[in-house]
Amino acid sequence: MTLADVFLAPTAFCPLQPLLETATGGTGSRSMKLVKDPAEQTTALTDIILALVAFGGVLFLHWSPVNTSELWRINIWSTAIGLIGLASALGAVAHGLLLKTTLHNSIWLVLNMALALAVSLFIIGVINDLWSYEASRKALPFMLFVGLGFYLTTLFYPGAFFLFIVYEGLALSFALCAYLFLMGTGEPGAGFMASGVLLSMVAAGLQARKSIVLKLIWKFDHNGIYHIVQTIGLLFLIAGLLGVTIFE
């Protein structure tokens, strides 16, 4: 048995254990039990990391000095990123803890709604950057309606979840084309934004390949790998929103 095998054993050290002990004062909690599947444990851990990066990014964006005309842009993007953080935090609970079926299902309902709204606001942010404040403001009610529509479709027709995946794919494709165009115009931060969107597309592609498994001390399945790549992509997006220049 190798060192990696020891770490991957269900009864071995759990990467979530220090966090759980800290949260419960080192004594644990009878009402909070960790899953035993190593892949689910690392999925929960990477969900936590993604959530922390998202919430940290929101704070950083709001701490950065902006003028009145930029406030709308920051509010739209920070809300979208905050919803990603909320979905990731809920994902950590759903993947990392043994929960009652009703609670588990309720968490996924809120998680999916947060993601649907995040995609809609993501598109609004791109419209604002590509065209104008006026265009994004007019599009906001429609895109929120579309996002909720896709969410409700998957809620009442679970087999139609692929429609939401198509929606997300179209949103990312639109964003990539937009920021590649803005890169050509010399727009500050567009290079980072394009890189972040591209990494998000790669992450989504990796998550779709459920057979992917990575063993690096701990076991990472397609969800854990997705979270890692998406976290890097989110860092690029935050840098782009702050106007950091790359490639221009």
- What are the residue ranges of helices labelled H in the chain? 3-8, 17-23, 38-63, 68-96, 101-130, 133-156, 161-184, 190-208, 222-241
pLDDT at 12: 38
Q: Taking a C-beta distance cutoff of 8 angstroms, is the pair 241, 61 a contact?
A: yes
Within 13 Å, how many C-alpha atoms sit on residue 95's CB side? 24
pTM: 0.85
Distances (CA, A) of 148 to 66, 81, 84, 140: 30, 17, 16, 12
User: pLDDT tens for residues 32-49?
Assistant: 689 999 999 999 999 999
Query: Position 3: which residue type?
Result: L
Phi-psi region of 26 (alpha: psi -120 to 50; beta: other; left: phi over 0): left
User: pLDDT tens for residues 42-71?
Assistant: 999 999 999 999 999 999 998 877 676 688
Give the position of tokens 């809920």: 90
List b or e across 202-219, with b for residues whose CB sees 16 or more CB atoms inside 10 angstroms: ebbebbeeeeeeeeeebb
User: Strands 218-220, 214-216: parallel, antiparallel or unpaired by DSSP?
Assistant: antiparallel
Residue 85: closest CA among 198, 221, 237, 217:
237
In the predicted model, what is the mean pLDDT of residues 14-42? 64
The whole-chain average pLDDT of the chain stands at: 86
The rounded distance, in Å, linking the Cα atoms of 100 and 157 is: 23
User: pLDDT tens for residues 83-118?
Assistant: 999 999 999 999 999 999 999 999 999 999 999 999
What is the band of 216 on the pLDDT scale with cuts at 50, 70, 90?
confident
Q: Nearest 5 degrees, angle CA 88-CA 90-CA 92?
A: 70
Q: Taking a C-beta distance cutoff of 8 angstroms, is the pair 230, 194 a contact?
A: no
pLDDT at 244: 62
pLDDT at 158: 74
Collapsed DSSP state (helix, strand, coil) of residue 218: strand
Q: Which helix (H) or strand (E) holds 245?
A: none
Greater confidence (38 vs 23) lies with: 38
Residue 235: closest CA among 223, 224, 244, 247:
244
The pLDDT of residue 193 is above 90: yes
The pLDDT of residue 24 is above 80: no
Highest-pLDDT range among 148-152, 159-163, 181-185: 181-185
Q: Which residues contact 19 (CB under 8 A, 6 or more apart)?
A: 45, 48
